[in-house]
Structure 1
Amino acid sequence: MNCLIVDDSRRFLDAARSLLEREGMTVLDMVSTSAEALQRAEELRPDVTLVDIELGEESGFELAGRLREHHRHQARVILISTHAEEDYAELIAASAACGFLPKTCLSAAAIRRLLSDCGGADEE
């Protein structure tokens, strides 16, 4: 399974890439803005895109919707955040994302489980 990670923290991006690659996922790219995410999603067609809810001045919720609208081939988005799920529960439920993972719980297994719960995951 491969992914694109969208987060405005270089430190988190590096840590997430290292963790996910150790667990057998392929990180195709790591970007920090919505514009980069939309471009790279089109070029790379990842199995899943991990999107931080707070992208500096940008909204991860908005980006999830744009990815789904413009890249139907890659509509699987998982929102991530340092904040607790209950802080954003209504927005997550109303979003185009298939789910949410706290950054502290990020793992390849958690991603696969969440994708399986929302319509199937590619197995590797």
Structure 2
Amino acid sequence: MTLRCLLVDDNQHFLLAARDLLEREGLTVAATAEDSAGALGRAAELHPDVALVDINLGGESGFDLAARLAPIPVIMISTHSGEDYADLIAASPAIGFLSKIELSAIAVRDLVAAR
């Protein structure tokens, strides 16, 4: 079964590049969103298997969005290392964290399978 992902980031260039990468590697990016409102609307409409959410959505917190997306599993993503946000990630409902540099379909599948 192919995982259907919701990809949320305030950087449109990253959204395009990440979508291309993940789809080439066999995931389906069901939708993208640049902010919390868009993400919540697309999640309600499409019921993705997992959401990949940037920690910093401009003026919005990706952690706040992760809590609002429940029960959809959320993987937090960032250009920063997970060590920078370790306490916040541990306290969040997210199932894991991926650095944007480490983003891959295999890494997403592994985190979803481990939950």
Normalising to structure 1: TM-score of the pair? 0.89
1:108: Cα distance to partner? 0.5
2:18 pairs with 1:16 = yes
Of 107, 110, 115 in structure 2, the residue corresponding to residue 110 of structure 1 is 107
Normalising to structure 2: TM-score of the pair? 0.96
C-alpha deviations, 1:39-84, integer Å up to 9, x for none? 100000001000000000000000000111xxx3xx2000000001
1:11: Cα distance to partner? 0.6
Task: Work out the percentage of aligned pairs sharing the same amino acid.
Answer: 61
What are the within-5 Å matches in structure 2 for residues 25-40 of structure 1?
25-40=27-42
What are the within-5 Å matches in structure 2 for residues 1-124 of structure 1?
1-68=3-70, 72=71, 75-118=72-115
Consecutive unaligned residues in structure 2, runs of 5 or more = none
Secondary structure at 2:93 match in 1: coil
Q: Find the counterpart in structure 2 of residue 121 from structure 1.
A: none
Supply the distance in 2 between the matched residues of 1:6 and 1:45 (Cα, whole angstroms).
Answer: 14
Supply the distance in 2 between the matched residues of 1:114 and 1:4 (Cα, whole angstroms).
Answer: 15
1:117: Cα distance to partner? 1.4
Please provide the CA RMSD for this pair: 0.6
Question: After the TM superposition, which segments of 4 or more aligned residues of structure 1 sit over 6 Å from their partners?
Answer: none
